[in-house]
Structure 1
């Protein structure tokens, strides 16, 4: 019944040209769908679908713009994703989105309207070990492995046998004395 009353109060009547809520209270109540315009929006990158391997300080505060396709209740929206983001999940919480405002040339003449992208990271760069993090003993093979971290952030930490670590004397000596 409350939904029916709300629908009646926010619809414009032909005799007065205004809504009953406006005549009675002086303002129109906003419903959740009104707060989200179907314009372009940006999504906060902490949404798990948009976590990228970039330095935190260089990340954009929001990713986008995207077009809202559908509302799922009052707390989530479905957006239209395309291009390299097509394999990401298109539904996000309302708390992670904000309206998109393009950069206006007349207001900000020095602002460059093209988005800046991070420079490509060399994938075939040689893996140089930054530090040895942990050690473990494999009982089946009766040998030790060490978890190493590389200097290039593209390469993930990995377990290596002592024989696979270049210049292992110096790196392992530093690890054992920490």
Structure 2
């Protein structure tokens, strides 16, 4: 009814289940930035509200901020709407406002603005880190590739002495942007043929592959 689909994970690809860990790390970084600003608020009566009491503002800012994955805020995804605050219903032409209400408004607005700035800084930091270290590999059907032996458990010999990659194999199907299905040779026919792109790399022919009948130059002896 809701159009929910299962996203099956690929073997030896721990990133599939890393979404929760990534969100936790992101929230930790947001809180770290929020605390670094030294957030506290002193009201008209001289009472100081420390950052711990202002954490609901961080929660509100996070739940109403647009996420790059969905293009929507968590509140819209879950409930279909962003929550309104009492201050949203105040009339702007009010001549008098109770000091306590004004203190609460100022404290909440300042906290939400700071939290929103922390979230924006964290998004920009994550984007720069990703762009700096990540390179998208584009494959297409028919490409020749090598597959990492990290997921192969039935190879002979000591693990540290094995080749890092085996192949070559031909890509017969693209599964989304992150997985490929290859045509395995008879030697590896019992292996599941779907691999994440992180375990696959393009194969480039060497001169020996291109000219198998060419004689090698003898080694020069001293």
> Shorter-chain-normalised TM-score: which range?
0.3 to 0.5
Q: Which has the higher contact order (CA 8 A, sep 6+)?
A: 2
Question: TM-score, structure 2 length as denominator?
Answer: 0.31
Q: Which structure: greater strand fraction?
A: 1
Q: Which structure: greater helix fraction?
A: 2
